[in-house]
Chains A and B, each alone.
Chain A
Amino acid sequence: MPRQCDICHEARAIVRRPKTGQSICKECFFYVFETEVHNTIVDSKLFKPGDRVGIGASGGKDSTVLAYVMKALNDRYNYGLDLYLLSVDEGISGYRDDSLETVKRNKEQYGLPLLIVSYEQLYGWSMDSIVAAVGRKNNCTFCGVFRRQALDRGALMLDLDHIVTGHNADDVAETILMNIFRGDISRLGRCTEIATSGEGYVVRSKPFKYAYEKEIVMYAYLRRLDYFSTECTYSPNAYRGYAREFLKKLERVRPSAILDIIHSGEAMHVAKDVQLPSLDRCQRCGYISSNSVCKACVLLEGLERGIPKLGISRTKQDVEAGPRENDLVHFEKLRQEALEMRRSRQKSESCQQSACACTENCS
């Protein structure tokens, strides 16, 4: 006999919900998944009406589902957001070029404007050329550091208020575990925050913070969303692999474990006298940094000087302080341009309004 849905008690159950173990029907699954994301957004007051929100889109399952759900919730609950797709092209052939095709299709499917910023264009190096220079070891460091900046640069180009990324509950729980294993107390305190203030940059948040990876895949599958599912062709992160493997086993022992870890992480309180790194601005590009020159500029200098170990290896090699000739576009400049864009937008809006008011008065 077919099983009834544990939630609506009407339709036939077709999935076993990974988070709770309930057998539920398709519609109830969509409803609970979306509502939980909505609850997350509302409870943590992520957005305000009129915000320009960029969805970090890679073409993978998380960001594809995020784009779909964000658009759906924005329409359903009238968040009043202007949504954009923001993609980073790392320049990895056989991986990113294909996944960007997916993002381009998503742009059409969801009717959202898309901006692609590429490493090539921002830094003058694509990941393929970086790997050719440094080899397969450590190349994820370059990619990670560059991506963080690239998203911020892209956000300023679009004058966004907010970027949402597809990090899911599994990612957050893994990060908590990893920070415990590594004793990284300052990150342990920060990694559970749903939104990072960005210290003057664009706010970033993770609306999928409490969404299980398995449920995201399930959602994409059941909605027949168009996403790209190939692992990066370059090396995966070894240490995270340990935490990931452990988390998967934990989930098997007790499905609520992922949520429980996040709950624990949020309640953890770092002792006040623990020294946290102070934050400063990079002297070259103006990006936020705990040193005088930010990691991206150090890595870039290493690439250009032909010493790719610079900034990675523990052996101290000199990084010249202060600005150099061919530095990245300064963040202050990008910010000014964004401000300019905002002003002209506001101007055209007020023009429209006053024109409208005028015609009313006239008639």
Chain B
Amino acid sequence: MCDATDTPAMESQPQLQKERVVGTPSKLCVKCKAAKPSVSIRRSLYCRDCFVRASVTKFRTALSKSRKRMPVARARVMVALSGGATSSAMLQLMADYQRMELKGYAAEPTYASVVAGHVDESALFSGYDDAQICDIAAAIDIECRVARLEDVFALEGDRAALLELVHATIAPGTTRDQFCVQLTRGDESKPAREQLRALFAGLGSATDREDMLDIIKAFLLARLARQAQCELLLLGDSGTRIASKLVSLTSRGRGFSLPLEVGAETPFLGSSSSGVMAYRPMRDLIMKEIAFFNLWTRQPSVVVPTFTTGAPETASIDRLTESFVVGLDRDFVSTVPTVCRTVQKLELCPEALTAAQCIVCSMPAEANAQAWRNRLTVNVAPSEQSLEHDIAPSADIQSPLSSFGVTAHLCYSCQSLLHFAKPGVALPAFCLENYREQATTSPPSDAENDVDADSQQRRESLRLRIEEFFI
């Protein structure tokens, strides 16, 4: 079978040419044309000063492009700070920008205030020092607010409970996933930190753990922003990161919600973070530029550990895509900007605007995700085929325990995430909050029919909330 039939013009595609070493006759900085260059970015040579200035401009241009979608005038800004190179650089760039505006170059500053927000990951990674990260903010007089990963297991109030996965199969002999959960008070003697570790230990693979960590961090940052009454959250996704995220999210089956996860300006959908909007103003800078920017502006940063730090590239999907995208960008010089442009051309499909939200990741969950998968990974023997028709794939089966099905409330990707999770794993508290919010408006059995007037109204309001952000 020939591969070329679909894309005959492939070899003549001009976009991706191997990088050729181009000798510049003058060997001077392309901007000032006077100084000796110190760095080569995509075949252009820059001197130190011009490079730093160009980086500042790239950040400000990206930021001001996003401004047209600012939720409120004079928004308060939280800069997400992991302490890594990109977020540290972003904090400095944003602080400089704010200082410049306050100095009175602008009649009225665009943003009311700037704070930093940090998620402490010491519960999962040893050798992690959050004081060091707060110092990065303190060094430039920015207040740093901190949330801890284990906060998602802190139970408050009377109705405090968690959702715990229970093992359930649809019928004897079949292994079709039914995602059933039950309410639990959790082990109160067990500190939240232990529960968090138990969650991560109960997940099936490094890819799943990364996925869960991203979800929890996004939730905590958005909640932190809302608690600080910030309407804007700046996320430090560099161009390189956005490109590898796009590929990684695609590989994890997240195409449906992709524009919400890597777009330049995206709203948060979770109930506890509604009204918060995320910008990605570092999207036009690649990792190399950020590394040089930090070096030449003496911006301190730390190495943020991940589950796969130091592991081989096949340790997880994130790790693999990152090394692949970085390698491809080295061989084909315009890969990262090309992929980033692709991102901007994608938009949320119409169904996503009205879809129910996944209780785990808060992203729109496509209806019938499980049915789609089941049609294509047949799991019953010929003799049991009749059984398959008796039970609608999306129906939630009541098992003898006090458990209930949540399949209809999980997106395709989170179904994969929980597929290999151990029974008995307790999900973060926000999953139950999300479920309660959904269940009160749309009972699970009606989730797909969407006949409930309440739920329609709710979805309509959701649609209105995000509609304006997509062309």
Contact = CB atoms under 8 A, between A and B. Distances in A.
Given A20-B377, A58-B2, A182-B16, A274 B252 contact: no
Given A138-B11, A180-B247, A263 B5 contact: no
A250 interface: yes
Interface string A161-200: 0000111100100111110111111011001000000000
A44 B417 CA distance: 28
Interface string B335-376: 100110110011111101000000000000010000011011
A350 B328 CA distance: 61
A250 B317 contact: yes
A273 interface: yes
Interface stretch (B217-225, B378-386, B423-431): B378-386
A58 B4 CA distance: 14
Question: Would you list the 10 A-B pairs with minimal beta carbon distance, nearest first?
Answer: A264-B255, A144-B4, A260-B253, A269-B349, A267-B255, A183-B338, A267-B256, A144-B8, A8-B381, A32-B378
A264 B328 contact: no
B261 to A, nearest CB: 11
A188 B343 CA distance: 11
7 contacts: A151-B5, A182-B13, A249-B320, A253-B317, A254-B207, A269-B259, A271-B347
B413 A260 contact: yes
A28 B381 contact: yes
A263 B341 contact: no
Contacts of A178: 7
Contacts of B398: none
Nearest to B470: A271
B135 to A, nearest CB: 37
B313 to A, nearest CB: 7
Q: Which of B251, B380, B413 has the most CB of A within 10 A?
A: B251
B469 to A, nearest CB: 12
A35 B378 contact: yes
Given A39-B375, A210-B376, A249 B5 contact: no
B322 to A, nearest CB: 12
Given A31-B382, A32-B378, A180-B246, A171 B1 contact: yes
B455 to A, nearest CB: 22
Contact of B317 (A8, A32, A143, A254): A254
Interface in A56-108: 58, 60, 62-63
A165 B1 contact: yes
A20 B378 CA distance: 10
A273 B15 CA distance: 21
Given A20-B379, A237-B4, A270-B345, 20 more contacts: A20-B377, A22-B175, A22-B379, A35-B378, A58-B1, A147-B4, A147-B5, A180-B246, A183-B338, A187-B6, A237-B10, A250-B320, A253-B317, A260-B252, A260-B253, A264-B256, A267-B352, A268-B346, A269-B259, A269-B346
B349 A259 contact: no
B122 interface: no
B380 A176 contact: no
Interface string B252-286: 11111011000000000000000000000000000
B250 interface: yes
Q: Which of B12, B15, B341, B376 has the most CB of A within 10 A?
A: B376
B313 A249 contact: yes
A266 B350 CA distance: 13
B169 interface: no
Given A144-B5, A177-B250, A181-B338, A237 B11 contact: yes
Contacts of B349: 267-269
B255 A191 contact: no
A130 interface: no
A295 to B, nearest CB: 7
B16 A239 contact: yes
Contact of B328 (A242, A249, A260): A242
A257 B251 contact: yes
Contacts of B256: 264, 267
A238 B313 CA distance: 22
Contacts of B338: 181-183
A336 B352 CA distance: 45
A320 interface: no
